[in-house]
Amino acid sequence: MSENLIKNVKIRPAKPEDVVGILEMVAELAEFEKLSDQLVATEADYQNSLFGLVPVAEALVAENSKGLIGYAIFFSTFSTFIGRAGIWLEDLYVKEAFRHQGVGKRLLKSLGKIAQERDAGRYEWCVLDWNQNAIDLYEQVGGEILEEWRIVRMDRKGIENLPEK
């Protein structure tokens, strides 16, 4: 890894004008995860969710002289066992040309600092079981892969069809 390259990468909170670039990278992530058919988010959705009257998520971006090269989208959670808020990392993405150069690790650490500053009880995220590069990175930084936990998801149609009884 070129030390100069990583020094020339800046990690900062996202701004409203970053939404277009973030959404472009989200599309790249969806393609990488073979989930492009599920991507329905719009610029307006991101503007509202990240910068609206009641933001529900936040983002950090990684940029260099060529523009945005990565992002981390996160939001607050709550642990009933710990009794305090935590941070959930929804997405961590680095453009392919900049992977394996420490950018993802810098994003993880930057968000970890935010978790410390907010006195978070937990800093959590999930990883696809086939994404070995991500698993290796997460284990390298001290993340624990919880094999016994499974994600349960209900989409909008499922929510609408939730039985009354």
Tell me whether residue 134 is in a domain.
yes
Q: Along the chain (165 residues), what's the average pLDDT of each consecutive run of 10 residues?
A: 67 98 98 95 98 98 96 97 97 95 95 97 94 92 91 88 81
Q: Are 77 and 122 in contact (CB under 8 A)?
A: yes
139-144 long-range Cβ contacts below 8 angstroms, 24+ apart: 140/105, 141/105, 141/108, 141/109
Query: Hey, which residues are catalytic here?
Result: 138
The reported pLDDT for the residue numbered 150 is 86
Residue 127: closest CA among 111, 112, 149: 149
Tell me whether residue 165 is in a domain.
no
CA torsion sign, 12 to 16 to 22 to 26?
positive
Residue 73 domain boundaries: 3-160
Tell me whether residue 97 is in a domain.
yes
The reported pLDDT for the residue numbered 108 is 96
The reported pLDDT for the residue numbered 6 is 67
The reported pLDDT for the residue numbered 2 is 47
> In which element (H, E) is residue 30 found?
helix 19-32
CATH classification of the domain holding 57: 3.40.630.30
Beta carbons within 8 Å of 72's beta carbon, 6+ residues apart: 59, 60, 89, 91, 92, 93, 107, 108, 110, 111
Look at the chain and report how many structural domains it folds into: 1
pTM of this prediction? 0.91
- Residue 84 and residue 80: Cα distance in Å, rounded? 7
Tell me whether residue 56 is in a domain.
yes
The reported pLDDT for the residue numbered 17 is 98
Give, to the nearest 10 degrees, the angle between helix 19-32 and helix 43-51. 110
Tell me whether residue 44 is in a domain.
yes
The reported pLDDT for the residue numbered 1 is 44
Tell me whether residue 59 is in a domain.
yes
The reported pLDDT for the residue numbered 165 is 63
Tell me whether residue 86 is in a domain.
yes
